[in-house]
Structure 1
Amino acid sequence: MRSTPELQALRSTPGIGVILGSTILLETGEISRFESVGDYASYCRMVESTRLSNGKKKGSGNAKCGNRYLSWAWIEAANFAIRYSPEIRRWFDRKASKKPRPVAIKSVAHKLARAGYHLIKDGGHFDVKRAFG
């Protein structure tokens, strides 16, 4: 696992080491099965499952749909990223001043999962300015 280019690309993200990177890669599986980054974020349980019609809530959908281990891994990565990256911490503090702390952490995890999708699919290195700028 250590020598794969996907793992090296994920490890360029603040907060993701060998264990979290391996967990994310193994739980994700083949990245080509996701048509878009939104499909991947939904599979990682990073988006709400509410159904709206005309601005009114019509149902909550299946809240447990997706991979719980990926959700856990991205939230752990978000907690570590907040701790070790000043840019991500600044973005988190702005979000946490308006929303509750768990919602702000989930927002960071969602941004990291979206960036992780592109890193796994295309390779490269994580750019904090592009993700949180």
Structure 2
Amino acid sequence: MERNYQLNTNLLMAYTKELIAVDKDLKEFTLNSAYNEEFEIVKSMPGVGDTLGMVIIYETHDIKRFKSPGKYSSYCRVIKCKKESAGKSYGYSGAKIGNPFLKWAYSQAAVLSKRNPLMKAFSNDLIRQHGERKARAIYTHKICRSIYFMLQRKQKFDPIDFFGRQKYERLQRLNN
């Protein structure tokens, strides 16, 4: 039993070293590619690091192929697809339509961004207003829309753009 444990530990250590090397190579490749500027822009969002930044950039490809933030959010699976015809709504469908990797990346970014005190306070406001599940969906959608506009405008994260000036000032007062 102890021998099996030792073998598994050794394998885990070997794979960990390899994965660290692969991650380093991917980051270096991204920094030297045409996506360098977009990668730095996406990484400026709180909660988005190297891995999530690469997933968002490589799975999105060119942001210009999406006509609106709603189309991009739908592709990222952070909002539901609405069935409608001739202005009449027939509910929602197609939960599997879109990119599952972007859904994962934005969900992780939403969780990790709450380490930032302003983002945490904003998330808590949403929870108070809408409840836990709905607030999480709204928050993830807001992050997705923000990254869409950041990539469109080629601008790094600006908290005033994200929250709005009044809300940003209120959140700052609450955190100080």
Say whether the fold is shared (TM-score over 0.5). Answer: yes
Code of the residue aligned with 1:42 in structure 2: it is S
Quick one: distance in 2 between partners of 1:68 and 1:61? 16
Deviating above 3 A after TM superposition, structure 1's stretches of 4 or more consecutive aligned residues are 50-53
Q: How does 1:1-133 map to 2 (within 5 A)?
A: 1-3=30-32, 4-51=36-83, 58-83=90-115, 85-133=116-164
Structure 2: unaligned runs, 5 residues or longer: 1-29, 165-176
Aligned length, in residue pairs: 130
Quick one: distance in 2 between partners of 1:112 and 1:120? 12
The 3-state SS of whatever aligns with 2:90 is strand
Superimposed CA distance per residue, residues 83-126 of structure 1 (whole angstroms, 9 cap, x where no aligned partner): 2x222111110111233323222211111111111222221210
The 3-state SS of whatever aligns with 2:77 is coil
Quick one: distance in 2 between partners of 1:123 and 1:78? 21
Identity of aligned residues (%): 33
Q: Which has the larger radius of gyration?
A: 2
Quick one: distance in 1 between partners of 2:113 and 2:72? 20
The 3-state SS of whatever aligns with 1:60 is strand
Structure 1: unaligned runs, 5 residues or longer: none
Code of the residue aligned with 2:47 in structure 1: it is G
Code of the residue aligned with 2:99 in structure 1: it is N
Q: Per residue, is there more helix in 1 or in 2?
A: 2
TM-score of the pair, normalised by structure 1: 0.87
TM-score of the pair, normalised by structure 2: 0.67
Q: What is the CA RMSD across the aligned residues, in angstroms? A: 1.9
Code of the residue aligned with 2:143 in structure 1: it is L
